[in-house]
Chain A
Amino acid sequence: LIGDQYLWPTTVPYYFEDDLDINAKGVIMKAFEQYRLKTCIDYKPWSGEKNYISVFKGSGCFSSVGNQRKGKQTLSIGAGCDRIATIEHEFLHALGFWHEQSRADRDDYVTIMWDRIQAGREHNFNKYDDTTSSSLNVPYDYGSMMHYSKTAFQNGTEPTIVTKIPAFSDVIGQRMEFSDSDLLKLNRLYNCTRPTTFLDTCDFELENICGMIQGQGDNADWERVTKATGGPDTDYSNMGRCTGTGYFMHFSTVSGSEGHTALLESRLLYPNRNYQCLQFFYYHSGNPNDKLEIWVREYNEANPSGTLRMIETITGLPETLWQLHHVSLNVSTKFRVVFKGTKGAGSSTGGLSLDDVNLSETTCPEHVWRIKNFKSIMENTPRGTAIYSPRFRSKYGYTFQMGLYPNGTETSKDMGAFASLTSGDDVIDGELTWPCPWMQITMMLMDQNADIRKRMSNQRSVTSDPNQKVEGSTMFFWDNPRKVGMEVTDGDGTKYFRGPGFGTSVYLTQARALSREFIKGGDAIFLLSMEDISHLVSSQPLPPTTPTDDLCTLIKCENDGVCVMDGVKAACRCVVGDDWWYYGDRCQFKSSNQDGVVTAVVSTVVVFVVMLVVTVVIVVCMKKKFKKKMNDMGGGTTTQNNYA
């Protein structure tokens, strides 16, 4: 939407109304994190700013376009809208974005089939000319999360939007994540220079290896290669698909002595938060005794050369597989990430390899569920049949798992995804609170693009409401699975209980699952986590009073007057000269000493003239009255001086 007046400040104030679902609040917070990771748009709780976004649970999902500058601007996240893509979509509207197919040039790219649109809904296919709406010099984006799907407002089964390039017919209408063009436009509209929480990404395709350096004081170096003796044969970013590309970093442990180390250090990084997530793919083809450690080199005034601090040792036996790892960091000063490879005892035919490193100021996902040969599983699993992840134990003690319908559920052809609590250790389960209160489980199918900012991962979250009942029963849905679940047998014969599933039958279409890089090297990766969001149950605090500074934004002092707080009121202090001054509640009037003299003279003259007029009038009236009296007495009386 063209017009600077429609822009928000880059930190947008928000207020969660009490009627919002708790899960919705949690998903909105996740959507805000995506904005922070990929753009310079940030969000903060409303603290009395003049304009803010009030998020409430209306009947449906909707928003205004742009900052309407009306103080409280509403945005509805109703039932069924608590999906991250829907929330990002509505906030994009609020930030000033129309739908993609309403662009001025849309007829060059799509054909609107007017006769297939429901009667009376034609207005949904408006377009705006380029004086109202700007495409910000970004090409038409079929992959935008602001684009309608081909079935939007259809009155039958035929598509209402036909893309001129047929390959994009099923691309339009994605509700997964921001596309590259969505981000480009948002970053251009708000003049973003850097995202708020992103720190670094590296796929080692460029020779400068993203500014990484070989550390000092080690015995060996990491090498940038396209294949390594003993494996891997390809990198992870490109999986060897492109000749002349596909680099990764490798530390060979074939030669050298036990204890030899190689340090690979990132460029200098400057954190904003005091927590970070390091994510990378790791291939271990060396001896089981070889190891990879993650360190940080922290700089401060006392240690200008930096101090090394150990974070984590990456464990695991050699495997012919690029494995995904997450390491949580907690750094608050200038730092580097250090990958330290060490040759262990024994002979080796390979080494340690790294690829697709991403560092962001976000929390790490807790659990990884990798499904090998995923395409084959999608094709060969009978419809309506679920496969289950291993049981994962969260940091709160609860165990849970994901049930996935790779070939659709009984009610939908789309992949379904459901989360269940499971029974875990008897003792631990006995100490937990049941029904499980306000735990949000997130199931994310990871888009395995090398750059975290370009990923369009598909995620859904559900939250355990301790008051929710099983339909048609008095049992609590999120109660102890031993009580409310069913006994099942694991692949290794272990028996456990699985609680009822909570999720969606329309998690992702199979066509979208086959797109982008959801499947890489044949495998799909689900990232699962459980977070306590009970802090979102209580009302968001209202600003105590309107901040004093802000009251001064409400009045404008003219003629260089200055606004100051007079008690709890804002007042203008006007400019005063030697013989002049401004006055009025906005300093809109001017006066001076000369004005005073003139005023005095004028008022004296006026008073004199008025008194003269009054005197003359009185004299004339008296004279007339006397004369009339004399006439009434018959010609009048002659007064004599009888005593003369």
Chain B
Amino acid sequence: LPTSKVTEYDVDGGKEDLFAVNQAAGLDLFEGDILYDEEQVRNS
């Protein structure tokens, strides 16, 4: 039945996935969410 609107809290703030979360947090990690050290870069 139609009801008055209750307060709702959106935990995601519209961010659809983890890459959006990381971008919003200002992170610029390797491939968006990978911690990558220098040794790995050299090996790769």
**A residues at B contact (CB < 8 Å):** 59-65, 68, 74, 78-83, 86, 89-90, 93, 98-99, 102, 120-121, 123-124, 126, 128, 132, 148-149, 152-153, 173, 175, 403, 409, 411-412, 414, 416, 418, 420, 462, 470-471, 477, 485-486, 488-491, 498-506
Q: How far is the CB of B10 from chain A (nearest CB, A)?
A: 5
Say which residue of B8, B18, B24, B35 sits within 8 Å of A502 (CB atoms): B8
- B11–A123 touching, CB < 8 Å: no
- A503–B8 touching, CB < 8 Å: yes
The secondary structure that dominates the A interface is loop
Write out the residue numbers on chain B whose beta carbons fall within 8 Å of the beta carbon of A59: 25-27
Write out the residue numbers on chain A whose beta carbons fall within 8 Å of the beta carbon of B14: 411-412, 505-506
Number of interface residues of B (CB under 8 A): 36
- Give A63 to B34 CA distance when docked, in angstroms: 5
Say which residue of B1, B8, B27, B31 sits within 8 Å of A501 (CB atoms): B8
Write out the residue numbers on chain B whose beta carbons fall within 8 Å of the beta carbon of A498: 3, 6
Write out the residue numbers on chain B whose beta carbons fall within 8 Å of the beta carbon of A500: 6-9
Say which residue of A80, A124, A175 sits within 8 Å of B32 (CB atoms): A124
Write out the residue numbers on chain B whose beta carbons fall within 8 Å of the beta carbon of A505: 10, 12, 14
Write out the residue numbers on chain B whose beta carbons fall within 8 Å of the beta carbon of A416: 10
Write out the residue numbers on chain A whose beta carbons fall within 8 Å of the beta carbon of B33: 60-63, 89-90, 93
**B residues at A contact (CB < 8 Å):** 1, 3-4, 6-19, 21-22, 24-37, 40, 43-44
- A502–B9 touching, CB < 8 Å: yes
Given A62-B34, A490-B1: A471 touches B9 (CB 8 Å cut-off): yes
- B17–A486 touching, CB < 8 Å: no
Specify the chain A residue showing the minimal Cβ separation from B26: A59
- Give A39 to B35 CA distance when docked, in angstroms: 25
- A462–B11 touching, CB < 8 Å: yes
- Give A123 to B30 CA distance when docked, in angstroms: 7
Write out the residue numbers on chain B whose beta carbons fall within 8 Å of the beta carbon of A86: 17-18, 21
- B27–A506 touching, CB < 8 Å: no
Given A78-B21, A80-B13, A80-B15: A153 touches B32 (CB 8 Å cut-off): yes
Given A62-B34, A102-B31, A462-B11: A132 touches B44 (CB 8 Å cut-off): yes
- A488–B27 touching, CB < 8 Å: no
Write out the residue numbers on chain B whose beta carbons fall within 8 Å of the beta carbon of A412: 14
Write out the residue numbers on chain A whose beta carbons fall within 8 Å of the beta carbon of B36: 64-65
Write out the residue numbers on chain A whose beta carbons fall within 8 Å of the beta carbon of B29: 60, 62
Write out the residue numbers on chain B whose beta carbons fall within 8 Å of the beta carbon of A420: 6
- Give A78 to B43 CA distance when docked, in angstroms: 29
Q: How far is the CB of A118 from chain B (nearest CB, A)?
A: 9
Say which residue of A64, A470, A489, A502 sits within 8 Å of B11 (CB atoms): A502
- Give A432 to B37 CA distance when docked, in angstroms: 51
Write out the residue numbers on chain A whose beta carbons fall within 8 Å of the beta carbon of B15: 80, 506
Write out the residue numbers on chain A whose beta carbons fall within 8 Å of the beta carbon of B21: 60-61, 78-81, 86
